[in-house]
Structures are given as C-alpha cells and as structure tokens.
C-alpha cells in the first residue's frame, strides 16, 4: 500500500473538533424544561463524547453523519448557581470546549402577563417605525442592505427608536406592542426572493437565519430587554412575533441540516406550498391535499421545518421559551399557524403554559371563512382529537367584512352574517380584531375608503368583541398599497424627516382629527368595561346601518354605525334608560317601554352609555 505524503498525514492528525455554536447558549436552573436538549454545531464532531461540570449531566449524545452537529440532553440540578458551565467535547481526533451558561431567571412580577380584551394592541415593524440609533443602520456584519429609498431594503428603524416613542404609544391609549420578528436575518442580499431581478433584504424579520440571535440592524439583546422593561414601566405589554413554520433560504441549516429529516425536502426537491389552508380542517380533504399545506415550502422558497421530527419539535419549543425568558415578553404572535401540524401546537402551547401560566398566544390564520380560523383556536378537541391550546387567532373574517362594508360600501348584513358565525369559535370574545396589518394594503387605499369611513371602522374596532389591534400609522390615516407600500416609514421617526407626526404640531389637521378620534375611543374603551368585556347583542341591521349592544354587570353600551350617504332613524328594542352619546353626534338616547329610536347623520357612528 502506498504511503500517504507526510503533509496529508499531518493534516489528518490535525483534524481536531471545532465548535461554532451551542443552541440554546444558556438556560435556567429550576426551569420546567429539564433536561434541556442542546444542538451543538461545529466540525469533526463524529463520535463525540460530552461531559459537563458543576453537577450538570450530559446524556443521550448523538452526532450527525457529517460530524457537524451533536445532540445532547443536559440535566441541570435545581440548586445550580448562575455562571459559566463549559462543556467538554472529546473525539478520537482531540477535544474542544463548548460555551454554556446558566442564568438567573427574570423576576416574574410585571412580566409574562398575557393579553386580553382589556388591551389595545399596536402592531409595528421595528425597521419602519423609528430610527433611534443611526450607528446600526449599516452594520459591519451585513453591509449594503440599508437604503431608505428602496422599499425592499432596511430603513434604519430599531429598538432605540421604539424606546424613544413609548410615551407616544402610551398617550395614544394602546396597552400592548406587537413587533414583527426580531430574529437575526440574512446578512447577504436575498436573491432567491428578488423583486424585478433586484435582491432584497429581509428587513421584516420573517426569514430567520439564526433563531438565537437578535437582528443587528435593530440592536442587541440588552437593548431588546431594555425596550421590554421600559414598556413594562409604562404599563405597556410586549408581544413577540415568532415563526416556527419556516426559516429563511439563507439559514446555514439549508446547506447543512442537522438531520436528513430536519426539513420537508431540500432546495432542489420539495413541495410548493399551495396556500389552501382550508384543507387542514376539512374532514373530506385527502392527506395529499393537507400535505401540500403542512409540508410545502412557503412561497416555494422558505424551507419548511419538519415538526414531526422530535428533535425539531423540541428545538422550537425550547426556542420559544428561551425568547420569553430572555426578554420578559407577555405574549407570542405565531406566524403561519395552519402550515404546522396541530399536534405540535398542542405540545408547544402546553410547554409555554407550564413555565408561564399567564402568557397568551395568538396565531395567524389568514382566511375569510370563520370555519377555518375557528378550527385552530384552542379550548376544545376537534375532529382530529387535538386541542391546539393556542389561546386566540386573528379575526380575519371580521377584517374582510369590515373592509367590504366600511371601506367599500357593501351592505351591513355582511358584518351581521359574519358575527353569526361566532358560534364556531371556542371563545370568540378573545379573538384579535384589526383594520389592517403589514400584509394588506392600508384601509385608506381601498377604492371606496374615506376619512369618515376610517373613523367608522375605528369606532367598530374599539367597541366590538375581541382584543383590538391597531397597525402603526393607521391612527393618523397613513396610505399604502400592497406590500411593501403598506410598510412606509412613520413620519418623524427619522431625524431628517421634514415633519414629526409623533407630535400634534407635526401632524396635519386631518391626521390630528383621526388621531384625536382614535384617542377618544381608546379612552372610552379603557373607562368602560362594557366596551371591553360586555356581552355582545345585535339590535338592528339595515342596508347601511348596524346597531349592537355591549352589556356588563354595571353598565350597557349601544354602538350605532351608519355607513350610508343619508341620515337614518333606527328603531331599537333594548332595556329602558337614558343613554349618553359619547362621540357627541347626538346628546342622548331615550329608551322607554323597551323601545327607542337612534338618529344618525350620514357616515357616522355613536356610542351610547348607560350606567346602572
């Protein structure tokens, strides 16, 4: 046998193991997840043996075929002290140390609070809200992705910009902030989702390339925690946006997956996701139809994670808990909920509730038919024998009805018919309602929309059942077409902006009129439990007018909306009393012997209140 050259022998002998990443990088003594399932990335890890110091125990060590990943279960005694606990990894070719630490848990007081109809949520995109730290506009890790003139690139918004404007959000009357994802996204121009041949940046956060790192354009983990703490000091909750369904096409796993079953398919051979999410709850749908939804790659390019693999499922459950534990979030918004098996959501929800009983979750189910989103709300087992455990879903059916009626003049019975389907939900009172979000055109960009109709929509949003969510800028009537035009920068969030709409002085008269109207509604909602938690009862439905009541133990509210071009007199049958008009179109409503008449001018709304 011919001897290898001495140089080759030396290189073989030098192939000692390396470690580049440990996920999660830290954990907490006394946590409900114990042992914690570690994923260690490096090279030359074949046949690795892992040992841990300080009483920690490493077990169930497995390596992948390429020697690039090690799975290990690390048991942490409850009495362990915070500090560094480096793991020793030994192979036939040498040894290496992997960093790991234990942290003290964040105090629970004022954190992990959940959200409810008592809240008003405000959705913002960190990159498009406000730039508080220009030093991270074009960071060294990912140069060339900043261009404020390009709607597909980073614009500079960050955590510090949000921190700077927390008082603005407080003054508006919102009580919770939902930020789009803050995961680290690709550091390279995204060519796989190029627009008109030009690469884009994943400024939106939905193409994660590192589940355990913060996007450097936004700031650091320390700044994120400061944001959450400062918000809590102002009695503002913070909801994290998580994405369990897929990663970005630039994630290192795509070229080197930890296991062959880590994804559903490969970049070269995978199913293109069909968007047909109604097939998941459909009793009659074939497994083939459902598989195209559950296993397909979103937009044919975003790699679909395989939650049926127990290592993937445990990784994602731990990651969800890690973000909450690191930052102190109060809730989670979960992206693309129907594209992931419901059995996973059951386990995911249960794990979150074990550690954080008050935490609440809401899932995105983008469908206009109430039969679809209702299937995914937790609280009951469905025909598949599974209770998802997910607390709430976004009320897309009401969103579509509001757009058709209040923006485009469809008959009001569309709203009434939609509300009649509330019986399908385990709990319709906790659905998250909204006028718009980052995936749809702005309300005022609908063909039939107007400022007055936007006000009607806000009157309904902030007096209807559910937890209302305001998309940033809608409170001043921002315009914007389809994505990405609906994601314009908030005026005044950048030092060189010609005006500052965060202040009354910087807003136009029209913007102030909308802002003041929204503020009046958020104030009314905060002051009156009937508008937050009262029983919903429909009282009248006409072509362009709708009246409903919200009744609690101590007060009643009657909400009347006229979306027509003419004044209307609407007879209503309800409990006797004198009701004061809070939006000041009319002063009062008298109901005597169970009957009263509401007079509404064209395109107007009124909220009447009667305290028992």
Ramachandran sector of residue 227 (left: φ over 0; alpha: ψ -120 to 50; beta: rest): alpha
127, 132, 134, 135: CA torsion to nearest 10? -100
Q: At what angle do helices 310-327 and 221-233 cross, to 10 degrees?
A: 60
Confidence check: pLDDT of 12 > 60: no
Q: Which residue is listed with tokens 């973000």? A: 323
Confidence check: pLDDT of 198 > 70: yes
Two structure tokens written together for 507: 């807003």
Q: Are 161 and 226 in contact (CB under 8 A)?
A: no
State the pLDDT at residue 6.
37
Confidence check: pLDDT of 13 > 60: no
Q: CA 392 to CA 377: how far, in whole Å?
A: 6
SS3 55: coil
Q: What per-residue string of b and e applies to 539-556 under the rule 16 or more CB within 10 Å gives b?
A: bbbbebbbbbbbbbeebb
User: What is the pLDDT averaged over residues 109-132?
Assistant: 98
Confidence check: pLDDT of 11 > 80: no
14-23, 398-407, 431-440: lowest mean pLDDT where? 14-23
Two structure tokens written together for 379: 């609280």
Mean pLDDT of the chain: 95
Q: Are 371 and 419 in contact (CB under 8 A)?
A: no
Q: Which residue is listed with tokens 């510090």? A: 160
Q: CA 167 to CA 51: how far, in whole Å?
A: 49
SS3 226: helix
State the pLDDT at residue 139.
92
User: What is the pLDDT averaged over residues 446-467?
Assistant: 97
Provide DSSP, 64-127.
-TTS-EEEEEEE--TTPPSEE-PEEEEETTEEEEE--EE-PPPP-TTSS----TT--EEEE-HH
Q: CA 477 to CA 474: how far, in whole Å?
A: 5
- The percentage of the chain sitting over the pLDDT mark of 90, rounded to a whole number, equals 94
Taking residue 1's Cβ as centre, other Cβ atoms within 10 Å add up to: 3
- The percentage of the chain sitting over the pLDDT mark of 70, rounded to a whole number, equals 98
State the pLDDT at residue 426.
98
Q: Are 430 and 467 in contact (CB under 8 A)?
A: yes
Two structure tokens written together for 262: 């880590």
pLDDT digits (tens, 9 = 90+) for 363-385: 999 999 999 999 999 999 999 99
Q: Where are the beta strands (DSSP E) in 448-591?
A: 467-471, 535-541, 545-551, 555-562, 568-573, 577-581, 588-591
Question: E strand or H helix at 417, and its extent?
Answer: helix 413-420
pLDDT digits (tens, 9 = 90+) for 37-58: 999 999 999 999 999 999 999 9
State the pLDDT at residue 612.
65
Two structure tokens written together for 556: 């009643």
pLDDT digits (tens, 9 = 90+) for 525-557: 999 999 999 999 999 999 999 999 999 999 999
Q: If you ran DSSP here, which 8-state letter would residue 595 be given?
A: E
Taking residue 300's Cβ as centre, other Cβ atoms within 10 Å add up to: 12
Q: Are 319 and 344 in contact (CB under 8 A)?
A: no
Q: Which residue is listed with tokens 């009657």? A: 558
Q: Are 495 and 488 in contact (CB under 8 A)?
A: no
pLDDT digits (tens, 9 = 90+) for 134-192: 999 999 988 999 999 999 999 999 999 999 999 999 999 999 999 999 999 999 988 88
- Of the two residues 477 and 611, the one the predictor is more confident about is 477
The domains of the chain, with CATH numbers, are: 15-102 (2.60.40.10), 121-527 (3.20.20.80), 534-611 (2.60.40.1180)
72 beta partners: 38
Question: E strand or H helix at 238, and its extent?
Answer: strand 237-242
């Amino acid at each position: 046998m011919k001897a290898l050259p001495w140089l080759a022998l030396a290189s073989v002998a030098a192939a000692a193991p390396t470690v580049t990443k440990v996920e999660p990088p830290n954990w907490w003594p006394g946590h409900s997840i114990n042992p914690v399932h570690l994923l260690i990335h490096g090279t030359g890890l074949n046949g690795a043996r892992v040992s841990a110091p300080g009483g920690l125990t490493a077990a169930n060590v497995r390596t992948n075929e390429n020697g690039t990943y090690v799975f290990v279960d690390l048991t942490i005694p409850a009495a362990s002290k915070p500090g560094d606990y480096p793991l020793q990894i030994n192979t036939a070719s040498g040894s290496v140390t992997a960093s790991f630490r234990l942290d003290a848990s964040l105090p629970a007081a004022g954190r992990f609070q959940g959200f409810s109809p008592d809240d008003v949520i405000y959705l913002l995109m960190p990159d498009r809200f406000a730039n508080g730290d220009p030093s991270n506009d074009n960071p060294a890790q990912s140069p060339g992705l900043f261009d404020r003139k390009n709607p597909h690139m980073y614009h500079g918004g960050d955590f510090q910009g949000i921190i700077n404007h927390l008082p603005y959000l407080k003054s508006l009357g919102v009580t919770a902030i939902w930020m789009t994802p803050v995961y680290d996204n690709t550091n390279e121009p995204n060519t796989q989702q190029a627009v008109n041949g030009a690469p884009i940046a994943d400024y939106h956060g939905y193409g994660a390339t590192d589940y355990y790192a913060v996007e450097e354009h936004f700031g650091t983990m320390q700044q994120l925690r400061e944001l959450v703490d400062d918000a809590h000091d102002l009695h503002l909750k913070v909801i994290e946006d998580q994405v369990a369904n897929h990663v970005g096409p630039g994630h290192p796993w795509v070229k080197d997956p930890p296991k062959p079953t880590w994804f559903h398919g490969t970049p070269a051979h995978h199913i293109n996701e069909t968007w047909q999410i109604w097939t998941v709850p459909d009793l009659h749908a074939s497994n083939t139809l459902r598989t195209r939804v559950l296993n397909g790659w979103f937009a044919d390019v975003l790699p679909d994670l395989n939650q049926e693999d127990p290592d993937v499922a445990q990784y994602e459950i731990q990651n969800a808990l890690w973000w909450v534990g690191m930052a102190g979030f109060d809730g989670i918004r979960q992206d693309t909920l129907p594209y992931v098996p419901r059995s996973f959501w059951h386990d995911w929800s249960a794990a979150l509730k074990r550690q954080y009983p008050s935490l609440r979750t809401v899932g995105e189910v983008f469908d206009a038919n109430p039969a679809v989103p209702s299937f995914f709300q937790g609280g009951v087992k469905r025909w598949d024998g599974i209770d998802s455990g997910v607390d709430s879903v976004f009320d897309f059916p009401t969103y579509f009805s509001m757009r058709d009626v209040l923006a485009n003049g469809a008959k009001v019975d569309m709203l009434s018919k939609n509300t009649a389907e509330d019986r399908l939900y385990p709990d319709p009172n906790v659905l998250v309602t909204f006028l718009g979000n980052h995936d749809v055109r702005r309300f005022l960009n609908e063909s039939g929309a107007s400022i007055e109709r936007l006000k009607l929509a806000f009157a309904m949003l902030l007096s209807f059942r559910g937890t209302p969510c305001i998309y940033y800028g809608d409170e001043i009537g921002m315009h914007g077409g389809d994505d990405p035009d609906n994601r314009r920068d908030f005026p005044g969030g950048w030092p060189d902006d010609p005006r500052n709409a965060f202040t009354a002085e910087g807003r136009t008269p029209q913007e102030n009129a909308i802002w003041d109207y929204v503020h009046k509604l958020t104030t009314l909602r905060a002051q009156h439990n009937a508008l937050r938690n009262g029983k919903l009862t429909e009282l009248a439905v006409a072509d362009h007018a709708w009246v409903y009541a919200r009744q609690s133990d101590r007060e009643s509210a009657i909400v009347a909306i006229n979306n027509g071009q003419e004044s209307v007199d609407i007879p209503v049958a309800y409990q006797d009393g004198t009701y004061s008009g809070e939006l000041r179109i009319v002063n009062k409503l008298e109901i005597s012997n169970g009957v009263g008449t509401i007079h509404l001018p064209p395109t107007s709304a009124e909220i009447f209140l009667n305290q028992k």
